[in-house]
A and B are shown apart, each in its own frame.
Chain A
Amino acid sequence: EAQVTQNPRYLITVTGKKLTVTCSQNMNHEYMSWYRQDPGLGLRQIYYSMNVEVTDKGDVPEGYKVSRKEKRNFPLILESPSPNQTSLYFCASRLEAGGLADTQYFGPGTRLTVL
């Protein structure tokens, strides 16, 4: 089954404790992206990747890191989480980096709470 998976689905942590949210897709998609969703603000793009070893900042990259060492995986790293990073996070992928009309497929989301 074609899908985007994220782990963990739920996480409660404390300020400053490094964490990684994994994202994996099995569709051989070039493009992957991370979003956060907050009430009243909608989905905001954190980082995106056009292919292996090619990443760039979205609109809200502060406090986050990403890497794309393999085509299928795009982990989101919070080196020192803070309470303002409490949010619902979605990973997404689409077939081609320049595929303007391509559908983005979203993972099921990770609900992160930073105390």
Chain B
Amino acid sequence: RKEVEQDPGPFNVPEGATVAFNCTYSNSASQSFFWYRQDCRKEPKLLMSVYSSGNEDGRFTAQLNRASQYISLLIRDSKLSDSATYLCAVNGAGGFKTIFGAGTRLFVKA
């Protein structure tokens, strides 16, 4: 079993739709959690950090469920420009090692 798992998709949604991604992690000692966005052949860029209390940034909401060991990302009112691959990342105990999921591909269509 992979340490961090994501549904690879692709998710194909129309503009304006709400879409949700989940990411599960296996190490209960994991300490910090992130969502990154990666456009084709480009470097990953931080989208959001994920906190136990949940956090929201405009149309994006991230949540952490420690009991079930997953993080989620909700995108509301999808835009064409949201089309990308979304990577979840987990820092292990001590924070030095980062494990990434393989990514979930999102296509938003007009």
Q: How large is the interface on B (under 10, 10 to 19, 20 to 34, 35 or more residues)?
A: 20 to 34
**With A and B bound together, what is the CA distance between A88 and B100 in angstroms?**
15
Tell me if A59 and B99 are in contact (CB < 8 A).
Answer: yes
Q: A99-B95, A100-B95 are in contact. Are A109 and B100 (CB under 8 A)?
A: no
* Total A-B contacts with CB atoms under 8 angstroms apart: 56
Q: A59-B99, A101-B49, A104-B98 are in contact. Are A40 and B43 (CB under 8 A)?
A: no
List chain A residues, Cβ under 8 A from B32.
100-101
Interface residue count on the A side (C-beta < 8 Å) = 27
Q: Name the distance in Å between B32's Cβ and chain A's nearest Cβ.
A: 4
List chain B residues, Cβ under 8 A from A50.
96
Tell me if A42 and B87 are in contact (CB < 8 A).
Answer: yes
The answer to the question of B31 belonging to the interface, with a C-beta cut-off of 8 Å to chain A, is: yes
